[in-house]
Every structure is written in C-alpha cells, then in structure tokens.
Structure 1
C-alpha cells in the first residue's frame, strides 16, 4: 500500500507488480498509512486533519476518525489491531479505538509550536514512541487506557 499526494491510497500486488485498487476519500494529501497486523484493515493519515479506516479486502472506507485540528503526519496501529495512535501538527498525539472510531486519549507535547511528526507502537502494545519537530522524543505508556 502506498500513500500519495493525489489524495488516494494505492493497494498493490507486490508479486505481480500491479495495482489492485485505488482508495479515495481524503480531501488532502495522504501523509502516512499503517496496516493492521491481520492485513485486513489500514488507517491513513492526511492533511485534511482526519484519519480513515479502510477495509483492504473490500477496498472501501469503514470510518473517518476526526478530532485533530492540524495536519495528521503519522499513524501507527497497536499489535492487537484494536488501537491506533496518530501524530499531528496540532501538537497532539491521539489514541483511537478502531472499533468505535473515537479518540480515547490525547497527549500534548511540552514545547509550543512544535508539531508531532512521527509515532510508533512497540511490540508490547503498551509503549508509544513519538517525535516532535523540535527533535524531542516522547515515550508514553498506555496503561489504564485499555480493558
């Protein structure tokens, strides 16, 4: 899967080297894509200030995740496929419940006017690492936020 400046995502058959589908729905550039561990869903992050949850088997949008007030630069999905974290120019990280499409937590950076540019969820499913434009790195624990 690739993201693009034409506001779409492209799903590719890597063995055959051919495009399988084009997924449309964002109104801004697509900055990042994360694929769920089961390979059946993906989440895209866009300049339109949203994330979109996609069904890769059906090639369709499942939900729009709204809540950021700035461009969404990065997204990562937890190893269990239930949660995603997003990094935004609005100086926040948001934790999303992919079953409901709702933000369940918001984290704010220490420095003013420094957007989050990257994020990842460790294999333990509890540790989140995020990077700000300033070069500051954050390590967060998701304890107490999940059932």
Structure 2
C-alpha cells in the first residue's frame, strides 16, 4: 500500500485556491478531453495521485503559480510532482517525471505510484526521464 503525504503548508490553501479560481484553473482528470488539450500544448505540468485519481494542471497560468495542494483541494496525496508529455499520433509519452512538490515533499516510492498511475491510463513513461528530487539535500 502506498504512503500518503499531507499538505505541509495548509495555511496557504485558501489563498492558493482563490488565485486558481481567479485564473480559471481547475484540476483536470487523466484521461479526459481537457487533458488531451493540455497535453497538446506541450507545457510542463504538475500532477497529484490521490487514490484512484490522477489530477493535473499547468504549473503557471496568467502569472499565478498553481500548487499541488490546489489539485488535491488541500487533501493527502500518494504522489505529486511535475511532468512533461509528448504526443506521437495517438500515443502520449511522459518524457519527464519528478517528485518536486514543496507542499507534499513526496519520497522516492511516490515516483513508482506516479509511473503506475500514468501507465494505467494509457500513457507511456520513459524510464530515463524519471528524476527523483531529494528533499534532504540542502
């Protein structure tokens, strides 16, 4: 069973949710037509895995930084980080995946959870593009 990570900055959540609403950002479920649209733009995105849900968003929208906590509505997650996806016809390939989330600071095992979540939804994950962020390095 995967470990759950809590939001380490809950005091910022109300302000972060308000900022996301102002710029029209909502968590996007994978797979969905909204995700297909985001993927086609080719920008770096953020993700969270919470239970059976994989939720994503752009990282920056109209000058606002979107946090992982916004995607999870402040709740606990099993994985969080950033990713990039490239489309080759009908195939979507995750070319870059990490566990960079200051709100959750997920461990190495969260990358396994994330890879599985993307692959279960039909995306291929390039193993060479998976990068662990070490939260213990100063």
Q: TM-score, normalised by structure 2?
A: 0.34
Higher strand share: 1
Larger radius of gyration: 1
Which protein has greater RCO, CA pairs closer than 8 Å, 6+ apart?
Answer: 2
Q: TM-score, normalised by structure 1?
A: 0.33
